[in-house]
Structure 1
Amino acid sequence: MSDGISDDAEDVVGVLTERIEARFALGMDQLKAAVTAAPTANPDATDVVKWHGLLVQAQSVLDHAEDDLLAVLETQPSEVDDPTMGLADLVDAAVTTRDGRAMVVRWLLDPDAPGKTGLAAERLARLRPRTGPAVQTSAPHRPAATPAPSAAAWRAGRLAR
């Protein structure tokens, strides 16, 4: 941004992008394509790509909120009115969101981060999405020698009870 409010904040996205690219030895576009092609192949890469996308989105929202606030401030007299304060609150919320997402990306990139070893890591692993169905989704296989009961036999068995 040319306005100077968050030039250093934009660097946060750039720095984290560089760290991601160095960690996975791929550019972001290549990494996104690899994750899209095989989302379960590397859960760490999938998580990083997801959160990096959320970070970039949050930075975009922040940029627009800052632009809106600056446009209003340029036309304001010395006193700031309630609608302008509302825009300032939106900028503040956008900064908080962006910073939170940046913290998640940093945590994902740090193999020694708290919660990534021991009991906390085991619990985290259980929260990861499963790669297959949690329950059997097809009928059980019957050996060829055991015929399935007919509807008449089933009814006869139910009536005999």
Structure 2
Amino acid sequence: MSEIPDFFDGEIVAMLADRIEARFEMPLDDLVRSMAQAHLATAGVTGVVHAYGLLTQAQTALEKAEDALAAALETATDEVLEDPVISLAHEVNQAVEARDTYAQWVRALLEVPAGKTSARTGAVSRLTTTLPVAAPAQAARIGIAR
């Protein structure tokens, strides 16, 4: 289940747009223009604007998937749904998950304190591509009780 509360079509996008505008103290369109002109192109602004763009794309994809499913359900005649309708329902579920993921990402980026460039708070250990070497096995000593 999603951790994002239920919103109607596009409400979550509008709510996050309002939070972005409040955080950066300017309308979203001005923020995008300032970022594009490198006046305000910090890592924080760039990340939020990028994530918000992906969120709006995901919301558009969700709306299209919902429309396709609604049209298919209107023409469905059987009580048991056929594979194409089930497939459209899965597309809607995937679109909801994508939208919610981007919404969580935007929300997380907005929670980063002003002036910080990332949400990372501590050092991250480096991933390695080698496996640890096993120590040679010791011969087992079995004692017999007498």
* TM-score when normalising by structure 2: 0.71
Distance 1:27 1:40, change over 3 A: closer
Gaps spanning 5+ residues in structure 2: where? 1-5, 125-146
Q: What is the identity, as a one-letter code, of the residue corresponding to 2:83? A: D
Does 2:39 match 1:36?
Answer: no
Structure 1 residues 39, 63: closer, same or farther in 2, change over 3 A? Answer: farther
Q: CA deviation at 1:7?
A: 5.5
Deviations 1:85-120 (A, max 9, x none): 0000000000000000000000000026xx836315
The match for 1:131 is none
Sort the Cα spacing of 1:39 and 1:54 in 2 relative to 1 into closer, same or farther, 3 A: farther
Structure with higher Rg: it is 1
Report if the CA contact (8 A) 2:21-2:27 is conserved: yes
Amino acid at match of 2:12: V
Does the residue aligned with 2:92 lie in a helix, a strand or coil?
Answer: helix
Deviations 1:47-84 (CA, angstroms, capped at 9, x unpaired)? 10000000000000000000000001011022210010
Which residue in 2 is equivalent to 1:88? 89
The yes-or-no answer on 1:119 pairing with 2:122 is: yes
Is this contact kept in 2: 1:48–1:109, CA < 8 A?
yes
- Counterpart residue type for residue 118 of structure 1: T
Mark the CA change 1:51 to 1:117 in structure 2 (over 3 Å): closer, same or farther.
closer
Are the counterparts in 1 of residues 34 and 40 from structure 2 also a CA contact under 8 Å?
no
Instruction: Write out aligned runs for 1:12-23 (5 A).
Output: 12-23=12-23
Runs of 4+ in 1 over 6 A off after TM superposition: none
The reply on whether 1:25 has 2:16 as its aligned counterpart is: no
- Per the alignment, residue 130 of structure 1 pairs with none
Percent identity of paired positions between Structure 1 and Structure 2: 39
Q: What runs of 5+ residues in structure 1 fail to find an aligned partner?
A: 1-5, 124-161
Q: For each residue in 1:109-147, what CA deviation from the matched residue of structure 2 results, as whole angstroms up to 9, or x when unmatched?
A: 0026xx836315xx5xxxxxxxxxxxxxxxxxxxxxxxx
- The alignment's TM-score, normalised by the length of structure 1, stands at 0.65
> Structure 1 pair 27/83, CA: closer, same or farther in 2 (3 Å)?
same
Q: Larger % of helix: which?
A: 1
CA RMSD of aligned residues (A): 2.0
Report the residue type matching 1:119 in the other structure. Answer: G
Q: What is the CA–CA distance in structure 1 between the aligned matches of 2:93 and 2:47, rounded to whole Å?
A: 26
Q: In structure 2, what residue type is equivalent to 1:67? A: D
Q: How does 1:54-73 map to 2 (within 5 A)?
A: 54-73=54-73
